[in-house]
């Protein structure tokens, strides 16, 4: 007799994800054994450093903030099967747009922040428009063009902070501090308003993608260009819209970094754009799940910086992250293929 | 005087182009078999780090290079398992491989950063050919890995266009089901292709660390893996055209390094702006290729990044 259990799909996927993460940690432990790093001490340092106290948890959320934005940016594009790998560059250009206003104007209190955010998102949206235009009119593969533009954007920031915008009082690669009107309002401790903005944006996006005509067009383009054309949806228009939105949202991550965390322009810590892509994929491009995965990643990153304090090589955490991701990738792919029997089918048979 | 300068510039360009050429040639074979491996950057980093570690440990640069290739191939095996067997998404798996290679090379190489490698690949003069004016110094007074890259281009061309197995590999990238029906094992072809490409990426990394810059630094490939991916498209998936593309990019890299020496207008442009040049060039080139591909077929394998399901044949 075959034992058949009615497992809901979400539980099946969650289970597959958790098992994959555990397997990834197991394999990472092998790396620890080989490199003679104490396993228990390492994992304990990661745990206490990321979840152990209220401060640690706050640190994890600070890391999760930019990843949530880049993850949402990736989710918009990937829904339409537009491979925007340029979150990294769009984030940097967003930070540039923010600094452009913050360093060169002195607007009064509420208008400054508004102008900073609008200009940052606008510049980042433009950085998303470039590869979209190249794709639509010249047939340039967006994976490569967005990638190349990442390097251009980061070099541009380097040029500014080492050159014309360098803080005259310090030798470090930073610009001068922004006026205080440009700082994001703090919520608690080191957390800023981004920690509220990200969930709001995620819910808005979820609504847009699920319940509006535009969201439907995005899904149709994502499934098949041929069906989109048959339904009189302009694929070019959707691709451009999606890339501009995606760029602008990724830009918010950059704005959050310079106006919330640092208070000045600097060469942004590389990697958040790429992490956003992975986070979005792990979340199945579902905006609300992107938040969950971003927090998961924030915990890993905060744990990594805690390793530095425990005098364990901090790059270890990037090995653990990558191992976890590779396993999650395999696990979720397999979980999607070998789905459990649907509950409704079971009932119909009884 | 100016002639010497130009010859030096060209010689340096060939050396700078070699890691791009090696990595792109490997990726070309991978993509021709229908797999898109975006993880080249990570594989190159692992190859570079392993080569430095082994060379310092054994005082033998040949062992270092071989170990760099072996580590590349081993990571390629993981990538092939995920994309060919498990049929995970090629783009996301590739990105994860970049993170994996970057993280693991940083972790395993943290004691090696900035250490000079003393046993490096020595330059070898090719008898007779090295004495030809201009061409001699530019092409035949390089190190042995550069000569290997010339040979590799010819070998890949011969394999793809003159051998039955090469035909099968191209067919696996165009129509895997037909290849399968013709009696070739598509999975095996793709496994071999991915592992070859990954070993070439490892070799490219090893060239960079023990044959060119003679040290290891975190993230030292600095986007060369990504440029290699662009080169494959630029070359229209053809190994001979790849040769030209790689040297064009090598020259672009060299212009940056030599911009101070060249003087003139170059010295007024910031180094950071100059460094944008290869990336902008890549986009421009892709745009030019794209225009042409609207009229003609660009040469992309039809089944690129499409997992093969035997059951859906």
- Asked whether residue A91 is assigned to any structural domain, the reply reads yes
Cβ of residue A35 closer than 8 Å to a chain B Cβ: yes
pLDDT at res. B269: 66
Of the partner residues B78, B99, B233, the one whose CB lies closest to the CB of residue A318? B99
Q: Could you tell me if B79 lies within 8 Å of chain A, comparing CB atoms?
A: no
The angle subtended at Cα A150 by Cα A144 and Cα A151, nearest 5°, is: 100
Identify the pLDDT of residue B261.
Answer: 64
Q: Tell me if A139 is assigned to some domain.
A: yes
Res A65: pLDDT: 92
Residue B244: in which H helix or E strand, if any?
A: helix B239-257
Chain B CB contacts of A155 below 8 Å:
272-273, 275-276, 279
Distance from CA of A212 to the nearest CA of B (A): 28
- A107 CA to chain B: closest CA distance, Å? 31
The answer to whether residue B86 neighbours chain A at the CB level (below 8 Å) is: yes
A331: exposed, middle or buried (Cβ count in 10 Å: 0-12, 13-18, 19+): buried
CB B196 within 8 A of CB B26: yes
- Residue B78 burial (10 A CB sphere; 0-12, 13-18, 19+): middle
Per the CB < 8 A criterion, the answer to whether B37 and B81 are in contact is no
CATH architecture of B2-300: Orthogonal Bundle (1.10)
Residues of chain A neighbouring B99 (CB-CB closer than 8 A): 271, 274, 278, 318, 321-322, 325
Lowest-pLDDT range, A65-69, A342-346, B40-44, B297-301?
A: A342-346
Query: Helices (H), strands (E): how many in chain B?
Result: 14, 0
Q: Where are the alpha helices (DSSP H) in A224-271?
A: 225-230, 235-255
Whole-number Å distance between alpha carbons of B143 and B121: 6
What pLDDT does residue B267 have?
A: 59
Residue with tokens 């530095």: A308
Closest by CA position to B95, among listed A65, A78, A222, A93: A78
Cross-chain CB nearest to A318 (options B103, B287, B290): B103
Distance CA B41, CA A150 (A): 15
Closest residue in chain A to residue B232, using alpha carbons only: A144
Domain coverage including residue A210: 64-176+183-345
Domain boundaries defined on chain B: 2-300
Collect the ranges in chain A with pLDDT lower than 50.
1-2, 344-350
pLDDT of res. B185:
92
pLDDT at residue number A261: 77
The position carrying tokens 């310090």 is: A170
Is residue A127 one of the residues assigned to a domain? Answer: yes
The contacts of residue B122 (CB under 8 Å, 6+ apart) are B143, B144
| pLDDT score at B299 | 67
Average pLDDT of the residues in B110-126: 77
Between B214 and B122, residue with greater pLDDT: B214
What is the model's pLDDT at position B307?
A: 77
Give the C-alpha separation, B253 to B257, whole Å. 7
Residue A260: predicted pLDDT: 83
Check CB contact under 8 Å for A318 and B291.
no
Neighbour-count burial for B164-177, b at 16+ CB within 10 Å, e otherwise: eebbbbbbbbbbbe
pLDDT value of residue A321: 82
Question: What is each CA distance from B163 to B8, B155, B185, in whole angstroms?
Answer: 38, 11, 16
Candidate from A158, A321, A330 with C-beta closest to B86: A330
Report residue A130 as tokens: 């470039």
Query: Does the pLDDT at position B69 exceed 60?
Result: yes
In a domain, A256, yes or no: yes
DSSP B68-92: HHHHHHHHHHHHHIIIIIS---HHH
Q: Model-level pTM?
A: 0.84
Q: Are A44 and A256 in contact, with CB atoms under 8 Å apart?
A: no
A68: nearest Cα among A303, A289, A326: A289
In DSSP terms, B216 is beta-bridged to: B113
Indicate the SS3 state at residue A269. coil
pLDDT by residue (tens digit) across B168-182? 999 998 888 888 899
In this structure, is residue A268 part of a structural domain?
yes
As given in the structure block, the two tokens for residue B225 are 């893996």
Residues in chain B: 313
What's the pLDDT at A270?
67
Average pLDDT over residues B135-147: 78
The number of beta carbons lying within 10 Å of the beta carbon of residue B113 is 14
B95 contacts in A (CB within 8 Å)?
85, 274, 277-278
pLDDT of residue B263: 61
Interface list for A 84-113 with B (CB within 8 A): 85
Q: Look at strands A174-177 and A191-192 and give their pairing.
A: unpaired
Residue-wise pLDDT for B199-247, tens only, equals 999 999 999 998 888 889 888 888 889 889 888 877 888 899 899 889 8
Sequence-ordered list of residues with C-beta below 8 angstroms from that of A333, at least 6 positions apart, any chain: B86, B87, B88, B89
Reported as a single tens digit per residue, the pLDDT across B236-278 is 888 998 998 898 888 887 877 776 666 665 555 677 787 788 7
Looking at residue B120, its pLDDT comes to 72
At residue A34, the pLDDT reads 83
Residue among A147, A165, A334 with most chain B CBs within 10 A, to mutate? A147
Interface touch A138/B290, C-beta < 8 Å: yes
Closest-CA residue of chain A to B222: A151
Q: What is the tally of structural domains in chain A?
A: 1
């Amino acid at each position: 007799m075959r034992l058949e259990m009615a497992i809901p799909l979400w539980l099946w996927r969650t289970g597959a994800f958790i098992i994959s993460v555990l397997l990834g940690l197991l394999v990472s432990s092998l790396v620890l054994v080989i490199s003679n790093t104490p396993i228990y001490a390492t994992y304990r340092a990661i745990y206490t450093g990321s979840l152990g106290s209220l401060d640690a948890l706050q640190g994890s959320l600070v890391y999760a903030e930019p990843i949530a934005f880049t993850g949402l940016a990736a989710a918009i594009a990937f829904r339409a099967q537009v491979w925007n790998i340029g979150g990294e560059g769009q984030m940097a250009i967003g930070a540039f747009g923010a600094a452009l206003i913050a360093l060169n104007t002195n607007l009064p209190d509420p208008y400054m922040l508004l102008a900073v955010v609008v200009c940052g998102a606008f510049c980042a949206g433009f950085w998303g428009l470039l590869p979209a235009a190249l794709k639509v009119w010249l047939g340039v593969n967006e994976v490569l063009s967005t990638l190349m533009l990442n390097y251009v954007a980061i070099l541009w920031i380097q040029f500014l902070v080492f050159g014309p915008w360098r803080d005259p009082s310090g030798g470090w690669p930073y610009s001068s501090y922004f006026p205080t009107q440009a700082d994001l309002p703090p919520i608690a401790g080191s957390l800023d308003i981004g920690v509220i903005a990200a969930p709001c944006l995620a819910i808005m996006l979820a609504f847009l993608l699920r319940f509006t005509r535009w969201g439907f067009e995005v899904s149709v383009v994502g499934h098949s260009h041929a069906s989109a054309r048959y339904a009189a949806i302009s694929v070019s228009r959707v691709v451009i819209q999606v890339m501009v939105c995606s760029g602008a949202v990724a830009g918010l991550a950059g704005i959050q970094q310079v106006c919330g965390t640092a208070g000045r322009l600097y060469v942004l810590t590389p990697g958040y754009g790429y992490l956003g892509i992975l986070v979005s994929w792990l979340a199945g491009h579902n905006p609300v799940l992107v938040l969950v995965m971003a927090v998961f990643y924030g915990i890993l990153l905060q744990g990594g910086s805690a390793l530095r304090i425990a005098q364990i090589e901090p790059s270890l955490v990037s090995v653990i992250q990558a191992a976890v991701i590779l396993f999650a990738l395999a696990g979720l792919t397999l979980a999607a293929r070998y789905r459990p029997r649907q509950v409704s089918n079971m009932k119909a048979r009884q | 005087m100016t002639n010497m300068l130009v010859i030096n510039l060209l010689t340096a360009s060939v050396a700078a182009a070699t890691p791009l050429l090696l990595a792109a040639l490997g990726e070309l074979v991978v993509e021709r078999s229908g797999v898109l491996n975006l993880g080249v950057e990570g594989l190159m980093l692992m190859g570079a780090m392993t080569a430095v570690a082994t060379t310092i440990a054994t005082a033998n640069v040949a062992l270092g290079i071989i170990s760099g290739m072996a580590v590349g191939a081993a990571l390629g095996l993981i990538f092939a398992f995920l994309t060919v067997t498990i049929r995970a998404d090629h783009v996301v798996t590739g990105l994860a491989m970049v993170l994996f290679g970057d993280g693991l090379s940083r972790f395993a190489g943290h004691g090696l950063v900035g250490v000079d490698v003393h046993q490096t690949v020595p330059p070898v003069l090719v008898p007779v050919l090295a004495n030809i004016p201009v061409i001699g110094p530019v092409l035949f007074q390089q190190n042995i890995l550069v000569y290997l890259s010339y040979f590799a281009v010819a070998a890949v061309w011969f394999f793809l266009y003159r051998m039955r197995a090469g035909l099968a590999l191209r067919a696996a990238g165009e129509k895997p089901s037909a290849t399968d029906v013709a009696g070739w094992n598509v999975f095996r072809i793709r496994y071999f292709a991915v592992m070859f490409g990954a070993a070439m990426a490892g070799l490219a990394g090893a060239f960079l660390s023990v044959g060119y810059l003679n040290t290891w630094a975190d993230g030292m490939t600095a986007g060369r893996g990504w440029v290699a991916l662009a080169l494959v498209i630029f070359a229209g998936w053809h190994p001979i055209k790849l040769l030209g593309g790689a040297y064009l990019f090598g020259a672009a890299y060299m212009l940056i390094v030599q911009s101070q020496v060249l003087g003139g207008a170059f010295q007024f442009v910031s180094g950071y702006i100059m460094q944008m040049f290869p990336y902008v060039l890549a986009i421009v080139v892709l745009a030019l290729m794209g225009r042409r591909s609207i009229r003609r077929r660009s040469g992309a394998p039809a089944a690129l990044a499409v997992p093969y399901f035997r059951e859906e044949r």
